[in-house]
Structure 1
Amino acid sequence: MSQNESHAAQIEEEEFEFSRNYFLSKELGSSAKKSTRKLADLDLVDEQELREAAANLEPTHEKEVKALITSYKDSYAEWTFALRGGFGLLMYGFGSKKVLIEDFASSLTEYSVLVINGYLQSVNLKQVMITLAELLWDQLKLHKKTSMGTISKSHQPFNTQSMDDLLVFLDSPPVQDNDSVVCVVIHNIDGPALRDSETQEYLARIAACSHIRIVASIDHVNAPLLWDKKMVHTQFNWYWCHVPTFAPYKVEGMFHPLILAHGGSGQSVKTASIVLQSLTPNAQSVFKVLAEHQLAHPDEEGMPINALYTICRERFLVSSQATLNSHLTEFKDHELVKTRRDSDGQDCLFIPIMKDALEKIVQEIGQ
């Protein structure tokens, strides 16, 4: 065998050995005992303890952040001009924009201002529209008093029970060159209470009204996906303002669970109890019916809506399907109840809370 043939044979043998070791390692790796540890096994701290620790952190770059927010005052005249031109202001950029927007709103002396905190877990949109209509009606009466020397004694020219009637009033044509306008400030228009399609459609219709101007902020990276082309360019008519403040989300963060906090049953009971306390006694009783069914039938996918309605109707907790639906909407908005399909393809309601936590909640409702 020549020297070249010997060298080639040695290389071939080394490659074979490498391949053999590779497949052996894969075989051993697949047969090895896998870890049984789960993410839920992590010993996370209690949320209250974590919030206290976060509150004690020393703030950094306070002077720089304050100077940056102050520097945006130079843009107030431009923003006001955009509002007068019928645009809606959309503030985006890293950092809380709450202080900046409210300071700008305070400079709008010619407008009445209504503030909506979209970072809260629930916002009553109908009440918002009623308040807007009342603010506009007060402005119109004031204008009439100034121009005619008397205050109209007529009743409010809108029906507070009809959303469409409220929108018609907000979009009414100006009277005698009256440019009465109400400015709506919406902190986090992409917040959890506002990001569903129906709410966004109503907000867009409000923004398109002749007597309304919108100043809003967004923080979620996918916030623009909430709107279609008509909403962006015609109804909201956004004037985009890049205003990074690098300010901490102190207020906004108070209403969201911390990702490093323990999500055990104690925390679930505490969170659910707080939400249920804000609901009506009938709503609490409806939730209790659903919880008791889930505890009594742990192997089922959930409780069919028609079954829940039958029981609640028999116990005089609801008078109609519409009443039950309003309670369920409240539960879903607060993530107390979710929907999933059973093996028969039927939509069922279930409570995404562990059994021990759910038992404690039922006991609290019964007290």
Structure 2
Amino acid sequence: MEGDEIEDEEFGFSRNYFLAKELKGSKKSTRKLSDLELVDEQELRAVASSIKPKHENEILSQLKCYKSLYPKWVFDLRCGFGLLMYGFGSKKALLEDFASTALIECAVFVINGCLQSINIKQALLMLAEVLWDQLKTRRKTPRNLPKFQQFSSRSVDELLTFLDESHGEGDDCFVCVIIHNIDGPGLRDSETQQYLARLASCSNIRIIASIDHINAPLLWDKKMVHTQFKWCWYHVPTFAPYKVEGMLFPLILAHSGTSQNAKTAAIVLQSLTPNAQSVFKVLADYQLAHPDEEGMPVNNLYAICRERFLVSSQLTLNSHLTEFKDHALVKTRRHSDGQDCLFIPLPTEALGKLLSELT
């Protein structure tokens, strides 16, 4: 009976608590995020970078402890394993210090997964060229070694085959690929992860990667982890700020007005090829010359770019437009006559300033 009385008492207390909450009602705050006075992103980043870091001595002591692991990491790589670094803090400086001090006898190739868009085929092409140069420097005479000029015409499968095939008996020549944020936005899609897993299984490649997202292991299945990547997991919290990784992401408390959009567009365009920049200039010049129109028809853009030898086919133009749209530089809308028109989502003044900066 005593136990039942205790349970009834606890039930009554809980019931009275929730009844009191219902009677009181919930008060909603009238404050909104839009009420905040936002500042320019460049100014906000400058202030954030001036904040003095704390516990510097403890962090340096921790990094010295990691340096004692460098010989073990090199041994793991020579045994054919991949290194996967995880833990709080940016691991960019740690991985690059490891490469510059412990991997001086190897060629090192760096991929920044924090970038929004990465061309995996272009990365494989450059990797093949790096391996080719390394073999040439060591005065090897490998069989079936393609010429330097032939790599650009090869497919992804052919490039992976070259990176995997043996180029001489007893040859321990390999390229170390450092992938900062292998779980980053530019690499986390399934197809790219499959290519990276195949790359990691190549006999002439060793992968050193870092992850920061808590769900990063969900990117791989059992075969990819144990057979292809062959990860050796290392918990290396550095507590270092994500300065480089955070540069490409907008700050919540930063003003996202027209001026900031123009600055972002300028940064993106400067990272593109000269042909892509020229295609963008054609579209921008048309928009400035025809401010009252809804946009530039795709067929007109292709005709002008073809005439100026900026593109060789519609497929080439589409690849440029896809890149523009991925970075929100160009948008599409339907013209009144049914055509698809392209336009740059910037006011005339900001667009003119952007063109002058590019020039």
TM-score range, shorter chain: 0.7 to 0.9
Please report the RMSD computed on the Cα atoms of aligned residues, expressed in angstroms: 3.9
Whether the 8 Å CA contact 2:77–2:83 is kept in 1: the answer is yes
Q: Which moved more, 1:173-182 or 1:113-122?
A: 113-122
Give unpaired runs (5+ residues) of structure 1.
Answer: 1-14, 298-302
Structure 1 residue 59: Cα displacement: 1.5
2:114 corresponds, among 111, 119, 123, to: 119
**Within 5 A, what are the aligned runs for 1:167-182?**
167-182=160-175
The superposition leaves residues 56-104 of structure 1 with CA deviations (integer Å, 9 ceiling, x where unpaired) of 2121100000111110123223222221222111111100111211222
2:152 corresponds to which letter in structure 1?
Answer: T
Partner of 2:3: none
Partner of 1:363: 352
- Distance of 1:275 and 1:180 partners within structure 2: 36
Partner of 2:321: 328
Partner of 2:223: 230
- Distance of 2:61 and 2:292 partners within structure 1: 56
Whether the 8 Å CA contact 1:290–1:308 is kept in 2: the answer is no
Partner of 2:303: 314
- Larger of the two Rg values belongs to structure: 1
Q: TM-score, normalised by structure 2?
A: 0.75
2:124 corresponds to which letter in structure 1?
Answer: M
- Distance of 1:174 and 1:153 partners within structure 2: 8
Whether the 8 Å CA contact 1:284–1:365 is kept in 2: the answer is no
Give unpaired runs (5+ residues) of structure 2.
Answer: 1-15
Structure 1 residue 308: Cα displacement: 4.9
**Within 5 A, what are the aligned runs for 1:120-199?**
120-144=115-139, 155-156=147-148, 159-162=151-154, 163-199=156-192
Note if 1:274 corresponds to 2:263: no
- Distance of 1:242 and 1:185 partners within structure 2: 17
Structure 1 residue 184: Cα displacement: 0.6
SS at match of 2:255: coil
Note if 1:99 corresponds to 2:93: yes
1:313 corresponds to which letter in structure 2?
Answer: Y
Q: Which moved more, 1:188-197 or 1:81-90?
A: 188-197
Q: Percent of counterpart pairs with the same letter?
A: 54
Partner of 2:11: none
- Distance of 2:97 and 2:299 partners within structure 1: 52
Using a 3 Å threshold, how does the CA distance of structure 1 residues 130 and 256 change in structure 2: closer, same or farther? Answer: same
- Distance of 2:191 and 2:341 partners within structure 1: 22
1:67 corresponds to which letter in structure 2?
Answer: S
- Distance of 1:349 and 1:64 partners within structure 2: 57
Using a 3 Å threshold, how does the CA distance of structure 1 residues 322 and 102 change in structure 2: closer, same or farther? Answer: same
Partner of 1:3: none
Whether the 8 Å CA contact 2:297–2:342 is kept in 1: the answer is no
